[in-house]
Amino acid sequence: MKQISTILLLTILTFLFSCQPKTVNTEWQTLFNGENLDGWKKAGENPESIIVEDGMIKCAGERCHLYYKEDFKNFEFEAEVKTLEKSNSGIFIHTKYQNEGWPANGHEIQVNNTYRGSVKYPERRKTGSIYNVRNIYYPLAQDNEWFKIRIKVVENFVEVFVNDIKVNEYAEPENPWRWEGGEKALLKEGTFALQAHDPGSTVYFKNIRARHLPVSEPVQPFDENWDRTVTKLMRSGFPFIDFHVHLKGTLTIDSILQSSQKLGINYGVAPNCGLHFPVTNDSSLYAYMNRVKGSPTFKGMQAEGREWITLFSPEAIAKFDYVFTDAMTYTDNKGRRTRIWIPEEVWVDDHQEYMEMLVGKIEAIFSQEPVDIYVNPTVLPAVLMDHYDSLWTKKRMERVVKVLAENNIALEINARYKLPKAEMIKMAKEAGVKFTFGTNNTGNDLGRLEYCIKMIEQCNLTPADMFEIKPDSLKPVNVKGLPAKITG
């Protein structure tokens, strides 16, 4: 009996000991010695694509992957990276060695600062993307410059940093939606792998290190249905970007980034620039740019009023990634300055005459002003909104679409106003007009672009239908000359 009690006690003690958290060595360990690939193993038919050169791992040439020989579950990984022009590579996490093909397990963290890909296989996902799951489109690093990438994984939560600025995060649900062939793209446990992608790509890695992190509690995913929606868009290559966000209310760059990383929506942030608006001249414009400089967001300019061209120099305007405007401020046919969201500044004697004037103003704006996007499209004064469908006739919509197509102006699908409607979007798509998504927030609520997602499905929009900023220095596709600044 005493012997049985002793055995039982030992069994209990062993069980209790096994339940105690294991001590984890969280010291940083060097993964690459700068001399050879000890500790790593190549896979693929082109081993010559990955070599050691001048103390760096060089990934250049046909597809090959380089796997580290130790597994990590919770970890922090760091590397210094340099991309050349046309570079496209990746760092795989939680993956498993396989002799051929793309690593099936784990996630790829994209390394691509400017490369656009081919016409057949366009690539908008930029450095820091959790490939096909949470893509980002603003490159915080540039080609031909060393930058640091840091990846942190704790249980189901991954964070990605570029030059110590967090650009991405993802809390993975327990059973997330995955595409056919991507069922193993999950946070589980595994090793790291570096990628050589194609002959035109050259990427260097150095100072590679990692450390194990202790066990922790999983992070609660934001919304599993939303996760499915976003991941499907990301997988299809859809650039999920809200180009029309303002720093209003208590909304700051930091809170915008928190929203971006929680929802998976990329943002373009823009000041209101024009007469009687917060930014009225070059000095206030530069002050704003300093405020948002270095953030992983697109930098837009909302041009307000028709005199905006006279207030800013071409050099100042060129600091922005893109410029957009609307037709909500203009001088009517009797010389009265009109802001259509202010009832006291709207004069409507005859509905049809007013619409003809408004469409004429839209045609003039987008044939003459150097902008990239028509935002708040087809919005009418409050007194006319109940008659929207009868006033926006097919002929009037065709006139607007025509001027946009002829001048390479993108059309915003606005989530706040839920405009334009599907008929005009389909008409614009047929004419080759590109599209953007926009919120035009009045305060802190950025929403989730629900109307835009609805229009993707209803109008059969594809990634090729979406507006794009050129990767090289992030200059807009549509660039027009500006007149010299007018003083006085």
Q: Where are the domains of the chain?
A: 29-212, 238-474
Q: Mean pLDDT, to the nearest integer, of 236-259?
A: 93
Position 14 pLDDT exceeds 80: no
pLDDT digits (tens, 9 = 90+) for 444-467: 889 999 999 999 999 999 999 999
Indicate the DSSP class of residue 476: B
Q: What is the pLDDT of residue 118?
A: 76
The rounded Cα 135 to chain-centroid distance in angstroms is: 6
Q: Mean pLDDT, to the nearest integer, of 107-128?
A: 89
Query: Cβ atoms within 10 A of the Cβ of 218, count?
Result: 14
Q: Cβ(117)–Cβ(471) under 8 Å?
A: no
Those residues whose C-beta lies under 8 Å from the C-beta of residue 173, and which sit 6 or more positions away, are 156, 221, 224, 227
H or E segment to which residue 441 belongs: none
DSSP 112-175: -SS--B-SSSB----TT-BTTTB-----SS-TTS-EEEEEEEETTEEEEEETTEEEEEEE--SS
Band of pLDDT at residue 12, cut at 50, 70 and 90: low
| Overall size of the chain counted in residues | 488
Closest CA relative to residue 91, chosen from 73, 103, 101: 103
Band of pLDDT at residue 87, cut at 50, 70 and 90: very high
**d(C-alpha 473, C-alpha 247), whole Å:** 24
Q: What is the pLDDT of residue 21?
A: 53
CATH class, domain 29-212, is mainly beta
Burial tier of 273 (Cβ tally within 10 Å: 0-12, 13-18, 19+): buried
Phi then psi dihedrals of residue 419, to 5 deg = -140, 155
The fraction of the chain above a pLDDT of 90, given in percent, is 83
pLDDT digits (tens, 9 = 90+) for 390-413: 999 999 999 999 999 999 999 999
Band of pLDDT at residue 480, cut at 50, 70 and 90: very low
Please give the residue that has the higher pLDDT: either 100 or 403.
Answer: 403
Q: What is the pLDDT of residue 238?
A: 92
The answer to which of 3-12, 146-155, 391-400 has the lowest mean pLDDT is: 3-12
Q: Mean pLDDT, to the nearest integer, of 296-324?
A: 94
Band of pLDDT at residue 17, cut at 50, 70 and 90: very low
pTM (2 d.p.)? 0.90
- List the structure tokens of 226: 């939303």
Q: What is the pLDDT of residue 22?
A: 60
Position 425 pLDDT exceeds 60: yes
For tokens 């694509």, the residue is 49
Cα→Cα distances 467→20, 127, 243, 275, 436, Å = 54, 20, 10, 28, 6
Band of pLDDT at residue 186, cut at 50, 70 and 90: very high
Q: Mean pLDDT, to the nearest integer, of 359-371?
A: 97
Q: What is the pLDDT of residue 108?
A: 98
Band of pLDDT at residue 337, cut at 50, 70 and 90: very high
Please give the residue that has the higher pLDDT: either 200 or 156.
Answer: 156
Position 131 pLDDT exceeds 60: yes
Q: Cβ(407)–Cβ(366) under 8 Å?
A: yes
Position 476 pLDDT exceeds 50: no
Q: Mean pLDDT, to the nearest integer, of 129-137?
A: 97
Position 486 pLDDT exceeds 50: no
Q: What is the pLDDT of residue 24?
A: 77
Band of pLDDT at residue 373, cut at 50, 70 and 90: very high
Q: Mean pLDDT, to the nearest integer, of 436-441?
A: 96
Q: Mean pLDDT, to the nearest integer, of 214-226?
A: 95
Closest CA relative to residue 139, chosen from 210, 85, 79: 85
Query: Cβ atoms within 10 A of the Cβ of 158, count?
Result: 23
Closest CA relative to residue 270, chosen from 249, 287, 289: 289
238-474 in CATH: which number? Answer: 3.20.20.140
Average pLDDT along the chain: 91
Band of pLDDT at residue 11, cut at 50, 70 and 90: low
The fraction of the chain above a pLDDT of 70, given in percent, is 92
Q: Mean pLDDT, to the nearest integer, of 11-37?
A: 74
Q: What is the pLDDT of residue 435?
A: 98
Q: Do domains 29-212 and 238-474 have the same CATH topology?
A: no
Q: Cβ(303)–Cβ(324) under 8 Å?
A: yes
Please give the residue that has the higher pLDDT: either 209 or 293.
Answer: 209
**What is the CA angle 419-232-113, rounded to 5?**
90
